[in-house]
Structure 1
Amino acid sequence: MVAKARCLCGQVTLEVGAHPILSTVCHCSSCQDAALIFERLPGAAPILDESDGVAYVLFPKNCVQCTSGRENLREYRLKESSPTRRAVAACCNTFMFLDFTKGHWITICRDRLEDRRVIESAPVQNRQSPMFILRLMAAWARMGFRNPKIEFLQGRLENV
């Protein structure tokens, strides 16, 4: 299965060559704080859903490539020491994904995915439930317990 995620203007494209690990909505304060920051950027799309959460689909990191617009991807961290970094397409201020740098998965914004069938095929899990953790661990085992790095971010987001 190949899934594509695009920014609003179409300059940044990610391709994922794997089935999703799971789909979830995160209501943690970090995701909510970042969403509010990104939603205030010029031309940015809404990020928070009706329950004030951020909808994500998780994929194995080793199956994700940036196929266009790499030069537009910028990282943002709420704190300099944070192990999570968020990627924004600076061309149109679109929040694309969250990278937990210590993890083996990439957390792509559900609204960025083009094919609804990919979203519908993802098992839905509550964040931090036992099944959520089990699915992450099973995906990690299939990856040989490796933690790949996302190397295609091109600097920091400047206009926040």
Structure 2
Amino acid sequence: MANATLFSTCQCGKVRCQAVGRPILSGVCYCDDCQAGAAMLEALDGAAKVTEEDGGTHYLTYRDDRFSCVKGVELLKAYQNAPDAPTRRMVASCCNSAMFLKFAKGHWTSAYAKRFAGDIPPVEMRTQTQFRQSNLPLPDDAPSYRTFGPKLFWRLITSRIAMIFG
């Protein structure tokens, strides 16, 4: 997977994104922002589901220099939970497929795992479980954290260093 290229595609195939190499993280987030964003996007006409059965959102998070839209970039439309929100959720306007999330101040892009085909990395952690609303048992496939957890921050820091030094 270190040099693998994965592709995510909208429902109708007009938008395609490319992710190169191993993601910073394959994680599920339950934060209130992700839940509100998912509800907003899933309410769009004809939109595909982005959340897991228990309400979490599975992302593959890549360094910005390893993730790009390679087809249909002009069809991407940004959605924000609020006008001053630091995150933009990018949706393929052709078919209302949520493609990825961009945190304005970060060096990473979090792509919706449900948009990828083929073998994707398994979930490595579940974050912000303090906001989880599901009555389903919390999956035990990966460590779970009430907040974001130190492992996430460590991965983000080391990925930034790797970007700086090539």
User: Normalization by structure 1: what TM-score?
Assistant: 0.84
Equivalent in the alignment of 2:139: none
User: Matched residue of 2:164: which SS?
Assistant: coil
TM-superposed deviation, 1:47: 1.7
Corresponding position of 2:24: 21
Higher-Rg member (1/2): 2
Which residue of structure 2 lines up, in the alignment, with residue 136 of structure 1? 156
**In the alignment, what sits opposite 1:91?**
94
How do 1:1-160 residues align onto structure 2 when only pairs under 5 Å count?
1-116=4-119, 118-120=120-122, 124-127=124-127, 128-144=148-164
- The 1:145/1:32 distance shift into structure 2, 3 A limit, reads farther
Deviations 1:105-157 (A, max 9, x none): 100000111231x324xx712331111111111111101189xxxxxxxxxxx
CA distance in structure 1 between the aligned counterparts of 2:83 and 2:89, rounded to whole angstroms: 12
User: Aligned with 1:119: secondary structure?
Assistant: coil
For the residue of structure 2 that corresponds to 1:143, the secondary structure is helix
| Percent identity for Structure 1 against Structure 2 | 35
Does structure 2 retain, via aligned residues, the 8 Å contact 1:110–1:119? Answer: no
Alignment-mate amino acid for residue 121 of structure 2? I
Q: Structure 2: which 5+ runs fail to align?
A: 128-147
- Which one-letter code corresponds to 2:29 in the other structure? C
What CA RMSD, in Å, does the superposition of the two structures yield over aligned residues? 1.6
* Alpha-carbon distance between aligned partners in 2 of 1:65 and 1:36, rounded to the nearest angstrom: 25
Instruction: Please give the alpha-carbon distance, in whole angstroms, between the structure 2 residues aligned to 1:25 and 1:101.
Output: 20
Q: Which runs of 5+ in 1 are unaligned?
A: 147-160
Q: Which aligned runs of 4 or more in structure 1 are off by greater than 2 angstroms? A: none
TM-score by length of 2: 0.81
Rounded to whole Å, the distance in 2 between the matches of 1:40 and 1:126 is: 24
